[in-house]
Structure 1
């Protein structure tokens, strides 16, 4: 019998023990294929990985397969191209259209934020820094993108072919079916991408074939049982939040939201509620150039969407405004009377929502409605966890606004829905990897599915670990001598930067509340003593 050659290998270079930074390297013989190339978000420790070299040679890759356009899946593609990748980036047509607006926007944000940082660094006597990539780098990346429709086989080499299946998460989002290996030794591997929930406003339910050797499955909400409301109940819940916020006639409802899909869903529901007189008419401002451009992409593809007619109607509503320029955005702060502002980013980490928060967080008339997942270490998570004071762009802001949460617009399936999706993919013969989740979520999903997969390994990969996809089971590659860029204890959680900011705010709070100057001096002496003891 001829030697079958080495087993295929998979390396988890992101979204392992954490939600963001999706990046999986698949090696099949001489072929090297990357599935996703996403940006890390969350703590500064994780975000610093965006600036470091890739743990592989970009020029050695044959192709990239992109599951969807969200930045935590696509956001480092311009860096990959800049660092030498010259192959094709394969995706669905709608994903390509969304990347055409999202990646240049990401480059522009980096240029703008680095410019601001360098001004501060110059005043502090620190070195200047460079953006990860520029808008021009992003535009150059788009030339390498190739669109492929759902359910159509694409051959990368005689040993690798793939096709896309609807993942139900976002316009154009896909699960990726791969057949890898030579001849009769082929294995079937499925990357879930991000799986959407049932009854999503614009997306049809996810689908994919059954019968796999290996499945790589997301687990963002693996430990969560959401009450998935009907369309009517979801709108009623949104109605209640708007009415609560509108009790302040001069207030504002701020909704930090991902610019792509979440914003469009919220807009459609708000306009529908106003049309049906369930909430009062008021200005709705979409304060995001990216959301404006993404909305045009959704409009272009609206006939591919469920309820696409609702979105087309909402876009044209008279009380809906889209801001483009910085001047238009700044003018939002001058609006009088109750109004609703939807602005990126969804985790409050960048973009115009931070300016709106600086203007409204300290005011009791303001309401912040969190409508999506807030990763550890993000400003959104601190607000969700009840912080009384936060720092935004170096300024200390008291939190007096009402912080609300409405988790019915998630683009991710919850634990039971993920378990149903996995059940429909059976038989899974050799192993399932749980990725794209923090450790409690991964553990929760593992507990849900282990009993229904007897004899099948349920694996929680760590970042930068490589597995051989053997004919019986996956094993950590014995030849892998590379050190992980971060230890497992450094991903998916708040880091020392977050602890430091909390300490500074706690110290300031203690000094303000101290009875007199003597009490303040006692606090400072204790702090100095603690620092001298550590040194």
Structure 2
């Protein structure tokens, strides 16, 4: 009998990792994600595997976000040499995401080691390098949606569109043992149905076990029309104060959708006095990947409201400034007002957004807009929770900027969408809730029972169940 063990994202939002195991199957990981929050050089040495990486036969990856893929370089560094299965778009995005991640990590490590040397301490060795990222990419194998592929002699996987980001997948895992067939469905991250650039998540009906995310299990998102109107109001009020806007960017998915709606506001005359700046080399590269894939899809395959030949970077906002180099980024500091800056990272754990905070977070004319979930332990979460004093680059800063959250731009399904998706399964499969904080999962579990008479359990770290 096969088992699934919950090794990450059990009553937490980041670090997705689950291991399917049986004597015939061996060991297969569903995701190999990184915990997010804080300095990477300080955080990553505390990340360890509950298994020997060389014992893993294969990895099945739901999508390219780092909280689902970010530990793959460490996995190969410590001995994994199997196949990494993902969708074609995920494989393409993985190169951008992991290279950016390792560069940020090595930069953090360099700064940390300078401080250690000044204190007479030995420098830390990197736990993985660019060579490990290259090996991850060489081990990656791309698969289309809807076509089963073998992951072992007695097991197959089929990817279905999760509608979360480009290439995101619901994983349907089928195993044959002793003449019996068993199916486990892993939702990955399910998309928000209001996302204009994504399809709705695929509906499945058959499973023995369902692992479903519950990031927003305790609430629904604001309607997108209200969210866009809120964004318009924030822009106008910040312009009236003579300030600037900073938006921490999730480079994959959120940035592209945000650019689309800013383009709509531009066409309606709401950005005439604003310079929109995309200050994220990774987001720029990811948007190019989006353009590449969108241009290969016909209008029946994706909910685009523009001709297929259009480019997000070129056509949505004609005056969009792409800031690639550090010099470009530093030049933004000279803009006194009217700068709408989209910069990484989305949870403010690193990247250029922290440098822009350093220049403007203390200015009451400034506005910070959050467009996605902020995990516990991140600077973004501290700001959303109302923290008035923060530390940046070893210095204390008073937060005087206006802090706003736009819920409708979330790339995750809200509570009602999660309930609707899981309600389609027939035959009362075992439901396990993952990828959510405990309060959100408790609320979702209770709601499923009271509204749909569906029993849902909450996954516990390092526990396993049979299927």
Which category of TM-score, normalised to the shorter sequence, fits these structures? Answer: over 0.9
Residues 115 and 47 of structure 1: CA distance in aligned 2, closer, same or farther (over 3 Å): closer
Structure 2 stretches of 5 or more lacking a match?
Answer: none
Equivalent residue for 2:196? 201
Corresponding residue SS for 1:143: helix
CA contact under 8 A between 1:302 and 1:308: conserved in structure 2?
A: no
Aligned ranges 1:6-25 → 2 under 5 Å:
7-25=1-19
Can you list the C-alpha shifts for 1:274-300, whole angstroms capped at 9, x where unaligned?
A: 112134242111111100110110010
Residues 310 and 291 of structure 1: CA distance in aligned 2, closer, same or farther (over 3 Å): farther
CA contact under 8 A between 2:197 and 2:257: conserved in structure 1?
A: yes
Aligned ranges 1:35-434 → 2 under 5 Å:
35-42=30-37, 48=43, 51-182=46-177, 184-230=179-225, 233-249=226-242, 251-303=243-295, 304=297, 305-307=302-304, 309=306, 312-316=310-314, 317-429=317-429, 431-434=430-433
Corresponding residue SS for 2:464: strand
CA contact under 8 A between 2:279 and 2:342: conserved in structure 1?
A: yes
Deviation at 1:226, TM superposition (A): 2.4
Can you list the C-alpha shifts for 1:91-111, whole angstroms capped at 9, x where unaligned?
A: 111101100111111111101
CA contact under 8 A between 1:28 and 1:159: conserved in structure 2?
A: no
Q: Distance in 2 between matches of 1:374 and 1:46?
A: 20
Structure 1 stretches of 5 or more lacking a match?
Answer: 1-6, 470-535
Pick which of 54-63 and 212-221 moved more: 54-63
Deviation at 1:168, TM superposition (A): 0.7
Corresponding residue SS for 1:428: coil
Equivalent residue for 1:441? 440
Q: Distance in 2 between matches of 1:172 and 1:347?
A: 22
Corresponding residue SS for 1:104: helix
CA contact under 8 A between 1:219 and 1:442: conserved in structure 2?
A: yes
Pick which of 346-355 and 113-122 moved more: 113-122
- TM-align CA RMSD: 2.0
Pick which of 380-389 and 44-53 moved more: 44-53
Q: Distance in 2 between matches of 1:310 and 1:380?
A: 36
Residues 225 and 50 of structure 1: CA distance in aligned 2, closer, same or farther (over 3 Å): farther
Can you list the C-alpha shifts for 1:424-445, whole angstroms capped at 9, x where unaligned?
A: 123333x111000000011011
Q: Distance in 2 between matches of 1:253 and 1:139?
A: 37
Can you list the C-alpha shifts for 1:23-64, whole angstroms capped at 9, x where unaligned?
A: 000003232111000001147899846644311111111111
Pick which of 352-361 and 460-469 moved more: 460-469
Q: Distance in 2 between matches of 1:463 and 1:29?
A: 22
Deviation at 1:225, TM superposition (A): 2.5
Residues 453 and 266 of structure 1: CA distance in aligned 2, closer, same or farther (over 3 Å): closer
Corresponding residue pairs, total = 458
Can you list the C-alpha shifts for 1:251-279, whole angstroms capped at 9, x where unaligned?
A: 21000120111111111111221112134
CA contact under 8 A between 2:41 and 2:105: conserved in structure 1?
A: no
Q: Distance in 2 between matches of 1:441 and 1:383?
A: 20
From 461, 464, 467, the equivalent of 2:465 is 467
CA contact under 8 A between 1:194 and 1:218: conserved in structure 2?
A: yes
Residues 351 and 45 of structure 1: CA distance in aligned 2, closer, same or farther (over 3 Å): closer
Deviation at 1:185, TM superposition (A): 1.7
Can you list the C-alpha shifts for 1:329-368, whole angstroms capped at 9, x where unaligned?
A: 1111112431100011111111110101111011112111
What TM-score, normalized by structure 1, do the two folds share?
0.82
Q: Distance in 1 between matches of 2:415 and 2:88?
A: 29
